[in-house]
Amino acid sequence: MKNKAIAIIGLGNMGGGVAACLENKGYTIYAYDIDEKKRSIFQHACRTAEEAALNAQIIMLSLPNSEVVENTVHALSAEAIGNKIILDLSTSFPLSTRALCEELKKTSTAFLDAPLLAGPDEARAGTLRTMVAGDRAAYDAVVPLLADYCAEYNYVGTSGSAHTMKIMMNFTGLMYAVLLGQMFPVAEKAGLDPVGLFKLMNNDAFSNWMYRFYAPKMIDRSFTEAFSLKLGLKDLKYMKDLCTAYGVPAFALDGGIELLERCVENGRGDRDFSECAAEMYELLGLPSKPEDKE
């Protein structure tokens, strides 16, 4: 890109990884996060989101949820966002995204939904995958930027389409993880060897990335942190909100949400999503920590 100044607001696992990746590739990153420690590691750390946005023509958001995205954008002045491009890397609620996109047209601001696939390691390495929705001309303008932090990127249509796709993917993947988090503890309670069961199911019929990523740490109780349970619950609630908006029951989704809400109530919200299995172990009277296993 000719102008390599980028504002990045939100420097968590994903936003911070993207910011570090782009800074290493020669971009000037105007970095802001409410956590001073997270922003202080960047050369151009900003004290406010406004300061970051004023310094760049492209603004990237990596925030916890749609409410924070809306509040952040609404707090920025017309000068900070007018005639610019905003990429929302967050997993946001699609109907909120569409409304915000329409609203920002008043300031000639292009709002693109560009949620991220993969994890923090890929963010730092610049090998993420993304799908992007919104104004096609704005997408074309940011393709060189996308190429610098993504291994794969695709334009998928009108505003909200990318966030809808991400919600569908997370609904499918996270609910599979919830199924595993219930299945392995119940299998162990029934007297099965969970390691043997894992090996038996690690085939074309049952195995995928989610299986290989979550099942081992559910079985050994390591619960290595990668994606917080409360963020997964947020994503599944967005799917439920879509069902509600379209007038259909959530059916199987409700059971997964019930288990995850119980986890949050018991203090597991900030821990890894795999700890839904820990909740099941405890409900079954089984040890939920590796040191408590015989």
Give 145-202 pLDDT, tens digit per residue. 999 999 999 999 999 999 999 999 999 999 999 999 999 999 999 999 999 999 999 9
Looking at residue 41, its amino acid is: I
* Confidence bin at 3 (pLDDT 50/70/90): low
Give the mean pLDDT of the chain: 97
- For 95-119, what is each residue's pLDDT tens digit? 999 999 999 999 999 999 999 999 8
Q: Is the pLDDT score of 1 beyond 80?
A: no
| pLDDT in the model for residue 147 | 98
Q: How confident is the model at residue 292 (pLDDT cuts 50, 70, 90)?
A: confident
Pair 29, 56: CB distance under 8 Å: no
Q: What is the pLDDT of residue 291?
A: 81
Residue type, 44: H
Tens digits of per-residue pLDDT, 242-282? 999 999 999 999 999 999 999 999 999 999 999 999 999 99
**Residue 150 contacts by C-beta under 8 Å, 6 or more apart in sequence?**
126, 127, 128, 129, 130
Domains and CATH numbers, the chain: 5-159 (3.40.50.720), 164-292 (1.10.1040.10)
Judged by DSSP in three states, 271 sits in: coil
Q: What's the whole-model pTM score?
A: 0.93
Alpha-helical regions (H) of the chain: 13-24, 36-40, 49-54, 66-75, 78-81, 94-104, 120-125, 136-149, 161-189, 194-201, 209-219, 229-245, 252-265, 276-283
Q: How far, in Å, are 91, 215, 217 from residue 183 at the CA level?
A: 27, 10, 14
Q: How confident is the model at residue 88 (pLDDT cuts 50, 70, 90)?
A: very high
Q: Of 134-138, 177-181, 222-226, 240-244, give the lowest mean pLDDT range.
A: 222-226
What's the confidence (pLDDT) of residue 226? 86
Rounded to an integer, the average pLDDT of 3-32 is 97
Q: What percent of the chain has pLDDT over 70?
A: 99
CB atoms within 10 A of CB 182: 20
* Orientation angle between helical segments 13-24 and 136-149, nearest 10 degrees: 80
- Which of 99, 103, 57 has its CA nearest to residue 80? 57
| pLDDT more than 90, % of the chain | 96
